[in-house]
Structure 1
């Protein structure tokens, strides 16, 4: 019995050792999150291995960020991966960051959507020697090296001032925001509120959530128009919100007399501006964010300590008279 027991313990130990070895190996070389994420080993000829982790892979806005990052990566001989949840999912987003840390990448670019959840994980990356650049949404209480992206409060403030400039008479405004808990969405809402707070003719009636989907924006718009039939202005704070609002407004009633402020320059948004359904949109420069984020990570890896911790990209208001929006404009002047 003693011999059998010893053999059993030996087999158990060897199985544990083998499992641990494989875990370490695959943690370094590859990992999988369902079918959405896989971090690969960096090819020998590449200088660095960076990972761009967005809020959701299927969002056209993030494809523009990816395009900028890939152009910079190609120029500087960097191996870049674009990984994350297909649809917005904070848990999957956090898992992807954690797996990138386990994979020992050379740098991470991501959002800091929720300070409480993201800050500890970004700090873990930095503690493990992996520099972090936040893109689009900052995590100011973390140890990230640099934030590159929109001043989201200022973007909301610009939207509010544009509404004041573009309208006359009383305005009953509904705000549709991507996610209530997302820090950048909160800033875009607060900036807008502060811009219009002293305008007695402008009243914010309600704030609804779209969950960063066009369908969610449409559902919120239907609900708001049913509950508040006198609404005559909408402000959408994420890229698909204005599109969803515009679709519902066109279906339910004449677009004349309803002001719509969107966000970003997706093709559908530009089409609605050309038709006159969307009156204006806040323009960010996601290509510029991705491009600069890669360059900043390279500078950090090469020992540059002269990094401003917050580097805002441009923000503008775009109207029908600004059409057409040229590729160089979308790239924020980065036509390389």
Structure 2
């Protein structure tokens, strides 16, 4: 396995390549169905390039757009070819299975997968590995993690715990009145982040402190609608947990429409540049930064290394989490939004 250069240097390299990557991604997505021609058993293409598959949870979530762009850029740097596919929505396990089957048929050397469901892809992953394809999970683990060759991902329980610990401290002793905005029922990440939040906040699933909860599919508009519906039942809340930044944006809009912005503290997870700017502007108080460029780059590098010398990657690697806020609390390490804007999604 190759070693990453320092993360800031690598992030800078990625930003310099981002323009070219953006132009390539559209063609990859449109042409993916026809990318299997001329492949060899070694996972190369007719031109001798290593062929790598990527399956994300969705095409449109900014987090996965960034991860895909970084994977394209890393493949270009390695003179490899990336085929990028995605589920139709967060939680589309069948779509991810179909995408993996297509990649297996196309003769890729490795598949990078962000699994929506930790157990839903196990048989397809096993078939890919049986055929000698390296399978690497990004962003989310399978259940068990050993189902893939390696995982480069956020510790999502830790990310949820950081959000929960911050929001509880921000109450400064006031009784908690919480709205929970999750992803989808069968999402491993949604379960892990919720679990971590509850631990960090110091409550349980059946706590009376939870005044309302809803699934949002991790998307802004459903989150805004869900928050509005919950506020119809009670506006006596002071804390909002959100699964990610699109959901936090939707919740913030609903709070603003009710005049509750100054009364309610919203936390989130992602750490995208737009999300950091939202923290700076006061739409929500804090976010937990992830590093999808790091995940994608390490995944691509590992497949290229495997193609060159037959050495598969292995094990679970935590790619890091950092709490970002301009309103720090005692006892909890954080960085401000100036730092966040220099490192967002690096």
Runs of 4+ more than 6 Å apart: 32-36
Deviation, 1:196, is 2.0
Native 8 Å contact 2:238 2:265 kept in 1? yes
Deviation, 1:156, is 0.7
What residue in structure 2 maps to residue 74 of structure 1? 76
User: Matched residues in 2 for 1:233 and 1:162: separation?
Assistant: 11
**Partner secondary structure for residue 129 of structure 1:** coil
What residue in structure 1 maps to residue 280 of structure 2? 274
User: Matched residues in 2 for 1:136 and 1:269: separation?
Assistant: 18
**Partner secondary structure for residue 177 of structure 2:** strand
Q: Does 1:129 align with 2:155?
A: no
Q: Does 1:87 align with 2:93?
A: no
**Partner secondary structure for residue 324 of structure 1:** helix
CA distance 1:242–1:326, change in 2 (3 Å):
closer
Instruction: Give the TM-score normalised by the residue count of structure 2.
Output: 0.79
**Partner secondary structure for residue 115 of structure 1:** coil
Deviates more, 1:275-284 or 1:297-306: 297-306
Aligned length, in residue pairs: 300
User: Matched residues in 1 for 2:258 and 2:32: separation?
Assistant: 37
Deviation, 1:275, is 2.0
User: Matched residues in 1 for 2:287 and 2:208: separation?
Assistant: 19
Q: Does 1:180 align with 2:194?
A: no
Q: Does 1:324 align with 2:338?
A: yes
Instruction: Give the TM-score normalised by the residue count of structure 1.
Output: 0.81
**Partner secondary structure for residue 253 of structure 1:** coil
Deviates more, 1:236-245 or 1:139-148: 139-148
What residue in structure 1 maps to residue 100 of structure 2? 97
CA distance 1:281–1:185, change in 2 (3 Å):
same
User: Matched residues in 1 for 2:235 and 2:341: separation?
Assistant: 39
Matches within 5 A, 1:147-162: 147-162=151-166
User: Matched residues in 2 for 1:75 and 1:36: separation?
Assistant: 20
Deviation, 1:325, is 5.0
What residue in structure 2 maps to residue 264 of structure 1? 270
Deviates more, 1:150-159 or 1:224-233: 224-233
Deviation, 1:217, is 0.6
User: Matched residues in 1 for 2:158 and 2:85: separation?
Assistant: 29
Q: Which runs of 5+ in 1 are unaligned?
A: 1-31
Native 8 Å contact 1:46 1:77 kept in 2? no
Q: Does 1:166 align with 2:170?
A: yes
Native 8 Å contact 1:149 1:289 kept in 2? yes
Deviation, 1:86, is 4.5
**Partner secondary structure for residue 47 of structure 1:** coil
Native 8 Å contact 1:287 1:330 kept in 2? no
Native 8 Å contact 1:33 1:96 kept in 2? no
What residue in structure 1 maps to residue 25 of structure 2? none
